[in-house]
Amino acid sequence: MLSDTVAPDTVASDAAAGWVEGAAILGAVAVVATVTAINDYQKQAQFEALNAVAESTETTLARRDGAEVIVPNASLLVGDVILLEAGDVVPADAVLIQTISDVVVDESHMTGESEDVRKSADASPVLLSGSKVLQGRCAALVVAVGMNSQMGLITKLVRAQEGEGGMETERSDDDDDDDDRRRLASTEAAAAAAAAAGGGLGAFSLHWLPYDRTKTVLQSKLETLARDIGRVGFFAGASCTLILSASFTQRTFLGGLGAGDVATAATWEWAYLNDYVHFFIQGVTIVVVAVPEGLPLAVTLALAFSVRRMLDDNNLVRYLGACETMGGATTILSDKTGTLTRNEMTVSRVWAAGRSRGPFLERCADDARLWRELASAICVNSTARFTVVDVDEATGEQKGARTETALLQFATGLMRDRGYAQLRRDACVVDKVLPFTSARKRMCSFAWTPDDRRGGRYRVYVKGAAADVLSLCDSQLARDGVAIEPLELDAFRASSLEWEKRGVRVMVVAFKDFESGFDPSTLRASASGAFYLTLRGLTLLAGIGLEDPIRPEVPGAIARCQRAGICVRMVTGDSLPTAVAVARGCGILPPAPARGGDGDGDGDGDDEKASLDGVAMDGEAFRARTRDPVTGAVDQERMDAVWPRLRVLARSSPEDKYALATGIMRSKRFEKERERERGGGRGRGRGGGGREVVAVTGDGTNDAPALKDADVGFAMGVCGTTVAKDACDILLLDDNFASAVSAVRWGRNVFESIQKFLTFQLTVNVAAVATASVGALLIGESPLTATQMLWLNLIMDSLAGLALATDAPTDALLSRPPCSSEASIITPRMRWHVASQATYQLAAMTCLVAYGDAWFRVDSGRGAYGSLAPPTTHYTLVFNAFVLSQLVNQINCRVANDATFNVFRGIEKNATFTAMLLCEVAMQALIKGGAAFHTSPLTAEQWGWCAAIAAGGLPLRAAVTALVNAREEREEIDDDDDDDADDDDADDADADSKKKKMKRTLTSRAKPLREWLDFWRWVEMKLFRGLF
């Protein structure tokens, strides 16, 4: 025992100070509640800002004053004519007035029926707001907007149930209607949730407010960890209370603990109850300190900070858990066009009339008719339009798929004397359109030619992928634009193959004239598109090469993914040669093997084909390898044999993308291998085990199932359809793959921020519980009072959570493998950190409690316990040194999971961390000498000694880091030795192993020196040069 037990009569009798501890506790709770409220307010304001950004991206093409204009959904008015096509969501209640092709919509969000509904201007013309256009193109007249639409009425009902306005009297002025429409944009999700009874795409919400679907893996891990820590804390607190009570009872009422003790058994007095209450308070304090209350706040802060900053990187987060999930992604299935490439399509080559034309097309008089026919075919058979952003603006803007707009630019460039509208008007009168779909990969427009529309000549224009349209052609248009000549198929295929190998997409434009007297009603009878199967005898107009350059930042982004242990796979509808060329340009595939100088071309082609076997394939081969030949269903065992090697999937459908994504997520291929590695003492792998975490990018309506079911779905904010955006977790505002990689950095940063705070809080909790427990057992009381414990546990944790959650991600995060969902959130490095720092702090506090009064020549605080006792300088020194130790540990925790020795690295870039640290120091200085926290004033010398004791955590952290680094390097060398032992060529493996060992040894020996040199350079630059 460090001191004798203090009798009850030694407690100070100044009862006037009894309110202090309760008031301090209430004040601390008020501060924490205020911090939480401010955080919630900021989060709500941030989400409203995200909604505003999303609302600005929700637009509809409308026809006003005879011009096609792009109108924000919130600005639509009754009487507007809106133009809709597949992938759009109906923004208001409307009535069909014209159908360019058969319209099919999904109304399950209203009716609850999963059956798609076919619409027509005669039989079923009503379009309900929120419906998804799944097929076709149409024009519709707006009849109800805002709260007067069907979606608005449901929203009113939801608000009435929630007490947010009920069925109030409707306001009719324009300003109020605009407000209603704006509020509707942010409450459509609640309406959809209240009305939806079906599934599929109809269950997708239309709001942009980030939402929580289920508990994330991180949240589940933290809840489990908090429960475990709470159990340990309860056991420690209960044990401490029981031991103190039993010891006091034995010593006071049972005559001592040993034979040498004098039996002085006391009789019971009610004053002794204070001692038992004091013991109970000690136990409760230990339990309160042990429970990590700050974890939920730290998670909220980390996610809110990341979501806000991700918006700067063009990531609009709709589902908060996607931030965390993306940090563990192991596979990204990426589209090609617009994501890996710039989506700036240009016509670079043309094959027509048996000739291949280069990038600079030379128009000559002989080909004038040919070019006119080609331009007319492009303009007629197109879904793209020239629109204006505002009715007062004269400049045009292209709306439509980039492929379509590139073809229109090419067509108008060919016929400079006539614009797009005149070309389309002069060419023919469109009778029927069968739009492009991912299934048939071609588009048809049926029209009457101007000169023969009454006489009976009827023409169909067809365009699409070369592989789909070329097989339907048996002739080609001659140079004079009139004569029909035999198709030079081999010549065209040779040219197109050469283009595709250079990453050029090849499209074919063709036509067919029907015989005089042809009845178009026979085509209308096959509106389902079955006519495509029987269409033959087309005349080839031209083969067009479209070039879309790779985004300059994509190769670097893919290289970062590969270093981070993330496999990037490209899924595209382009041909296999084009896809392979783009994949090599991006770095998904290695460069093509160099051709031997004396080898023949066939041999080189065979070698290249062999190198791509299983690595790149088209959709047909993928389906043949992964589906059961009898049932046609995806076979998981077949899928497991394909996906690990697959990097490029060309000529694929949305169903192929969905099958690949779900097949990878369901795969258990590596479980046995990982179990075998664990059994052999090796568990590195990719993230230490667990299933693959798949992220998918998509922009089309048919991509919605894959986006919805993937672990993380990225929709394109520029070219994506509304249905795809509704199904995604994160919206890429710039359609850029590099932005998706940025989401990986932020996702890993969220996980690391939580680990930083968890390391900090575990150190505080372990040290505080140990100090309180040891003090209670040795001297009969805790050297830290309840208010001081509350200050440490709530105030410090809240500010530390804010400080540690605001570190921006670094590129070093992408040099680590993804963390597995099965891996513990507490890493071995964190365990070493917590154990070493907590042990050091416990030892330092124990020495201060035992000998601090003698060292600093102050009155001892031992024995002066309770809220009524006057504060002592002795225990104030203990409390101050303990708090400053946590502040030093807060700096250490910035790099808790890093192998670096410089804990100040990048601290100058985080103004929030520095501000929070200074705020904590200032608040700690302000509470000195106050009765609320039971402290007395300290001299500058005493502050200096407390700071010196706290600073001891810095060299301790460096020493522990060196030991952990050496241990990990030793394990890595042992793993490499095991890998080399399995190598077939033992001699070469041994030589390579020795080289690797030597290189790692030299690097590891030089690394600490480099780290310390960097640290002292930073100190010199930031401190010495700044002062002098």
The alpha carbon dihedral of 576, 577, 582, 586 has a sign of positive
Full 3-state SS string of 795-837:
HHHHHHHHHHCCCCCCHHHHHCCCCCCCCCCCCHHHHHHHHHH
Number of Cβ atoms within 10 Å of the Cβ of 22: 12
Q: Which two tokens stand for residue 958?
A: 């460096």
Q: What is the structure's pLDDT at 873?
A: 86
Amino acid at 352: A
Which element (helix H / strand E) includes 752? helix 737-779
Cβ proximity of 997 and 973 under 8 Å: yes
The pLDDT value recorded for residue 816 is 84
What band does 801 get if pLDDT is binned at 50, 70 and 90? Answer: confident
Strand partners, 543: 351, 508
Quick one: which of 543, 547, 578, 549 has its CA closest to 350?
543
Provide the pLDDT confidence category of residue 92 given band limits of 50, 70 and 90. very high
Alpha carbon distance 973, 962 (integer Å): 16
Question: Can you name the residues that pair with 351 across neighbouring β-strands?
Answer: 356, 543
The average pLDDT across 1018-1024 equals: 52
Average pLDDT over residues 738-749: 91
Q: Quick count: other Cβ atoms within 10 Å of Cβ 53?
A: 15
For the entire predicted model, the pTM comes to 0.74
- Which residues neighbour 33 within 8 Å (Cβ) at sequence distance 6 or greater? none
Segment 177-219, tens digit of pLDDT:
444 443 334 333 333 333 333 333 333 333 333 444 456 677 7
Confidence check: pLDDT of 44 > 80: no
More confident residue, 870 or 706: 706
Q: What is the mean pLDDT of the chain?
A: 76
The mean per-residue pLDDT over the stretch 772-796 comes to 76
- The arithmetic mean of pLDDT across residues 226-254, rounded, is 83
pLDDT in tens, 489-512: 888 989 888 898 888 989 999 998
| pLDDT band, residue 450 (cuts 50/70/90) | low
- Separation between Cα atoms, residue 579 and residue 1008, nearest integer Å: 46
Cα(85)–Cα(89) distance, integer angstroms? 9
DSSP string for 565-612: T-EEEEE-SS-HHHHHHHHHHHTSSPPPPPPPTTS-HHHHHHHHHHHT
State the pLDDT at residue 579: 92
What H or E segment, with its residue span, contains residue 742? Answer: helix 737-779
**Given 88, 335, 726, 853, the catalytic residue:** 335
Find the length of the chain: 1028
Q: Look at residue 255 in the predicted model and tell me its pLDDT.
A: 63
DSSP state of 418: S
Query: What number is the average pLDDT over the span 990-1006?
Result: 49
The mean pLDDT value for 271-292 works out to 80
Strands 567-571 and 331-334: parallel
Residue scoring higher pLDDT (696 or 790): 696
**Residue (of 504, 512, 589) closest to 544 by Cα position:** 504
787 vs 773: CA distance, rounded Å: 16
d(CA 511, CA 498): 25
> pLDDT by residue (tens digit) across 570-617?
999 888 999 999 999 999 999 877 655 444 445 555 666 666 788 999
Element (H, E) at 730: strand 730-732
Q: Which residue has the tokens 């009902």?
A: 157
Tokens of 532: 């495509």
Least Cα distance to 825 among 766, 762, 732 occurs for: 762
Tokens of 371: 């070019």
Section 502-525 average pLDDT: 78
For 740, 742, 855, the CA distances from 811, given in Å and listed in that order, are: 14, 10, 47
Q: Give phi and psi for 341, each to the nearest 5.
A: -110, 170
Residue 943 CA to residue 832 CA, distance in Å, equals 29
Q: Which ranges of 780-794 does DSSP label H, i.e. alpha helix?
A: 786-790
Tell me the per-residue pLDDT of 382-427, one tens digit each, with 9 for 90 and over. 877 665 444 333 345 566 677 888 888 888 777 765 666 666 666 6
Which residue do the tokens 């996702």 mark?
Answer: 747
Can you list the domains of the chain with their CATH numbers?
A: 90-203 (2.70.150), 316-339+565-593+603-743 (3.40.50.1000), 346-547 (3.40.1110.10)
pLDDT of residue 331: 94
Q: What is the 3-state secondary structure (H, E, C) of 283-320?
A: HHHHHHHHCCCHHHHHHHHHHHHHHHHHHHCCEEECEC
Cα–Cα dist 266/253, whole Å: 5
Residue pLDDT, tens place only, 135-185: 788 899 999 998 888 877 776 765 565 454 433 334 444 444 444 443 334
Share of the chain above pLDDT 90, in %: 20
Average pLDDT score over residue span 85-105: 85
Residue closest to 324 by CA, chosen among 829, 825, 891: 825
Residue-level pLDDT at 614: 85
**Confidence band, pLDDT 50/70/90 cuts, at residue 1021:** low
Alpha carbons within 13 A on the beta-carbon side of 57: 24
Torsion angles phi and psi, residue 471, rounded to 5: -70, -15
What is the DSSP secondary structure assignment for residue 341, as one 8-state letter?
B
CA–centroid distance for 557 within its chain: 15
pLDDT of 201 reads 31
Annotated active-site residue 335? The verdict is yes
Check residue 168 and give its pLDDT: 39
Alpha carbon 968 to chain centroid, angstroms: 30
Considering only 446-455, 869-878, 988-997, which range has the smallest mean pLDDT? Answer: 988-997
**Could you tell me which of 397, 384, 414, 368 has the C-alpha nearest to residue 544?**
414
Lowest mean pLDDT, pick from 272-276, 279-283, 1008-1012: 1008-1012
d(CA 689, CA 710) in angstroms, rounded, equals 19
In this predicted structure, what is the pLDDT of residue 712? Answer: 93
List, for residues 882-914, the tens digit of each pLDDT value. 999 999 999 999 888 887 888 888 888 888 898
pLDDT at 72: 86
- Return the bridge partners of 731, or none: 316, 715
**Model confidence at 833: pLDDT above 50:** yes
Residue 650 has pLDDT above 90, yes or no: yes
pLDDT value at residue 195: 36
pLDDT higher than 60, residue 938: yes
**What pLDDT is stored for residue 591 in this prediction?**
86
Pairwise CA distance, residues 485 & 473, whole Å: 12
